[in-house]
């Protein structure tokens, strides 16, 4: 692991000052806030048809299976504008913003408001087992898509991502089948966990685009209270932003239009 790991963990743990950076045009493509109501081996169940009806006409489509690295039966419902989504998981739910068509990120507060509306709807469905749903865990996930031709053109340019260490990969041909890496860091605050995933998605017969994906997730316990849930989400969002700021070089951040603001 590269030598800057110590400063990265310190920043993620919240020791990097009181200012959070913001970006004029970040590579952010998805933002998710989630809550788990059950733990293994239990499984969260809900009447998804009743939930869609409770949410109103903005959510008129059908529930779709979610394709992921570890398929587990998650279902997702999009809104009319296709820039918001609700995902029912085996443990709870997540509310997300989708920016795949170039939509401007509405900022965290708007996503948080959408999350509140969904959790209220979930709790109003009488067919939910254990109607008094108690939050067990919270999670915050940001997915960043970085196309070739922006802050990188060749695999040798990947050092704009500070966890990347090409010295370890001299015998690997990253351009042929892509590259996947994963880092996990325990956080001293709230007993949370920070996960960073790096993935190269090369050109293929199905996709002519060439992207890097950097996904950042923070999760932790909610202490079985709504206060713990929302405090955790706010904390997790702060860790994600600080982590993003620490992950990339100054040149990359300047490309995305970094500015500073007080929290």
pLDDT above 70 as % of the chain: 79
Is residue 142 scored above 90 in pLDDT? yes
Q: Name the most confidently modeled range: 3-7, 132-136, 145-149, 169-173.
A: 145-149
Q: What digits encode the pLDDT tens for the residues 79-100?
A: 999 999 999 999 999 999 999 8
Give the pLDDT band of residue 131 (cuts 50, 70, 90): low
**pLDDT tens-digit profile of 37-56?**
988 888 898 999 999 999 99
Q: Distance between CA atoms of 23 and 144, rounded to whole angstroms?
A: 13
Per-residue pLDDT at 172 exceeds 90 = no
Looking at the DSSP assignment, which residues form a beta bridge with residue 84?
Answer: 97
Query: What is the band of 6 on the pLDDT scale with cuts at 50, 70, 90?
Result: very low
Check whether 10 has a pLDDT greater than 60: no
Q: What is the mean pLDDT of residues 178-203?
A: 87
**Token pair listed for 163:** 């966890």
Cα(263)–Cα(259) distance, rounded to whole angstroms?
13
Specify the pLDDT at position 20: 85
The pTM for the full model equals: 0.86
The pLDDT value recorded for residue 55 is 94
The Cα 258–Cα 48 span in angstroms is 40
β-sheet bridge partners, residue 64? 76
Q: How many CB atoms lie within 10 A of CB 216?
A: 23
pLDDT on residue 13: 43
Distance, in Å, from the CA atom of 166 to the CA atom of 180, rounded to the nearest integer, reads 13
User: What's the confidence (pLDDT) of residue 170?
Assistant: 62
| Maximum CA extent, the chain | 58
Closest alpha carbon to 140 in 69, 101, 99, 196: 196
Is the pLDDT score of 128 beyond 60? Answer: no
């Amino acid at each position: 692991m590269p030598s800057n790991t110590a400063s990265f963990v310190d920043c993620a743990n919240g020791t990097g000052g009181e200012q959070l950076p913001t970006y004029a045009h970040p590579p952010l493509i998805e933002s998710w806030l989630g809550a788990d109501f059950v733990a293994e081996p239990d499984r969260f169940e809900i009447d998804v048809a009743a939930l869609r009806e409770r949410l109103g006409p903005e959510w008129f489509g059908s529930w779709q299976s979610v394709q992921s690295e570890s398929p587990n039966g998650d279902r997702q419902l999009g809104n009319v504008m296709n820039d918001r989504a609700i995902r029912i998981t085996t443990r709870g739910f997540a509310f997300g913003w989708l920016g795949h068509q170039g939509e401007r990120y509405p900022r965290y507060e708007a996503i948080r408001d959408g999350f509140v509306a969904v959790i209220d709807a979930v709790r109003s469905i009488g067919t939910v087992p254990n109607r008094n749903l108690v939050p067990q865990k919270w999670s915050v996930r940001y997915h960043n898509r970085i196309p070739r031709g922006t802050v990188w053109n060749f695999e040798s340019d990947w050092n704009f991502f500070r966890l990347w260490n090409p010295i370890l990969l001299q015998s690997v041909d990253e351009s042929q089948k892509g590259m996947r890496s994963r880092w996990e860091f325990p956080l001293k605050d709230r007993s949370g966990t920070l996960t960073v995933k790096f993935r190269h998605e090369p050109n293929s017969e199905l996709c002519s685009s060439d992207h890097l994906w950097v996904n950042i997730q923070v999760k932790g316990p909610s202490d079985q209270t709504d206060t713990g849930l929302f405090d955790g989400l706010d904390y997790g969002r702060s860790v994600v932003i600080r982590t993003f700021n620490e992950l990339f070089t100054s040149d990359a951040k300047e490309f995305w239009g970094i500015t500073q603001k007080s929290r």
